[in-house]
Amino acid sequence: MILPPATLGMLGGGQLGRFFVSAAHEMGYKVWVLDPDPHSPAGLLADHHLVAAYDDYVALDAMAAECAAVTTEFENVPADTLDYLAKFIPVHPSASAVAVCQNRIAEKSFLAENEVPHGPFAIIRCEDDLRGAADELFPAVLKIARFGYDGKGQARVASRDEALAAFQHFKGEPCVLEKMLKLDYEVSVVLARDEAGTVCCFAAGENRHRNGILDITVAPAQASPFVTEAVQLRAQDIAERLAGKLGYIGTLGVEFFVCGGELFVNEMAPRPHNSGHHTIDACDASQYEQQVRALCGLPLALPRQHSIAVMVNLLGELWYEDFKGHGSYREPDWSVLHAVPGLRLHLYGKHHARPGRKMGHFTVTGDNGDQVLALALQARAAIGISDE
């Protein structure tokens, strides 16, 4: 076990890293953050912020010398960086697990090889691959294999010609072409797995998106009017099996499409997940505490959820006069949210808001699912989030 007051390393300085730093500090650890952004949210809280690129070996050597173990909050950290650090100190999750999750071609191939339910897809490396793709795949979504998230690097394509145009727009980057499924709804599972293979799953959450970005999570999912307990348990079972196949150590998020009552894995995130933010306020131990525990070889906590929760993302357009990213720039009226019973506001300390950027979230908790959801939707509207 790695015990306090040891120093832990975090690759990536976003909000997920910020919550990790907070959890680690509460447990008695120090944290070094490596992130090239001098204003990174996690770096602002860290005991030391290495402002450097992820392939800066001087910075990596400093981290290896000072930290007892290293983890990540950002799936696009180069696998070579994780491999390099693993020569000196424990690194969880491993480079091999992250490499699968950070590349959609590797990820879809992994799902197919392990007979995990997934939607029809084709690997696209050149225009001829698109010309040869099955007609049954259309309409589809074309997604670049690397560095796409929150709807970026994706295009809905109704036909082969549209797909070819989108591929050219992506400058020939390797892609996957995924058949557009008729969704009932979406769910996700966040879990933690330790070196002994012990897995602790949080209850699945039902996710609702706007413009390709997560908007609302209802947890547990069966508090939603759409989700059955059977779907939740099946999602947890598949997520646990995936973690085992990856040999995963740490906190893992798995997103699912539910179509006709059947589950299909959409993608995996080798880190805490946006849909698991509610665990800070609604569970005995958060997904970030579990990340610390798995990294340090501590026993995983039993993630009992003591309250029904609805989490709402706060995006950068709220900081503009018209609530759409235009007009004068000003701070939202947070008193509107602080007045709501059972609501907890979390702001990430990012230095500039822009449309689509995750700037914070709030979570409403309570005992009655209908009331919690109604309160969260009312607060969401009151702060200026519309359904348009």
pLDDT band of 222, cuts 50, 70, 90: confident
CATH value of 7-91 in 3.50.50.60, 3.40.50.20, 3.20.20.70, 3.40.720.10: 3.40.50.20
Angle between helices 287-296 and 15-26 (to 10 degrees): 70
Q: Is the pLDDT of residue 75 over 60?
A: yes
Residue with tokens 């591929």: 167
Fold category of 120-179 in CATH: Dna Ligase; domain 1 (3.30.1490)
Q: What percent of the chain has pLDDT over 90?
A: 88
Q: How far apart are CA 148 and CA 266, in angstroms?
A: 13
Cis peptide before 225 (omega within 30 of 0): no
Q: Is the pLDDT of residue 29 over 70?
A: yes
Give the tokens for residue 228. Answer: 């059955």
pLDDT of residue 225: 82
- C-beta of residue 224 within 8 angstroms of C-beta of residue 238: no
**Extents of the domains making up the chain:** 7-91, 120-179, 185-382
Binding region: 104, 143, 148-154, 178-181, 186, 209, 266-267
Mean pLDDT value across the chain? 95
Q: What is the CATH number of domain 185-382?
A: 3.30.470.20
Crossing angle for the helix pair 79-86 and 57-66, nearest 10 degrees? 40
Q: DSSP per residue over 111-156, as a string?
A: HHHTT--B--EEEESSHHHHHTS-GGG-SEEEEESSS--TTTTEEE
Extract the tokens encoding 110.
């992994």
Q: What is the pTM of this model?
A: 0.95
Average pLDDT on 106-135 reads 95
Indicate whether 150 pLDDT > 60: no
**Pairwise CA distance, residues 243 & 196, whole Å:** 12
> Which H/E stretch holds residue 214?
strand 213-219
Q: What is the mean pLDDT of residues 182-195?
A: 96
Q: Which long-range contacts (CB under 8 A, 24 or more apart) does 210-215 make?
A: 210/387, 211/151, 211/356, 212/150, 212/151, 212/152, 212/154, 213/150, 213/151, 213/313, 213/315, 213/356, 213/358, 214/150, 214/274, 214/275, 214/313, 215/312, 215/313, 215/385
Name the binding residues for ATP. 104, 143, 148-154, 178-181, 186, 209, 266-267
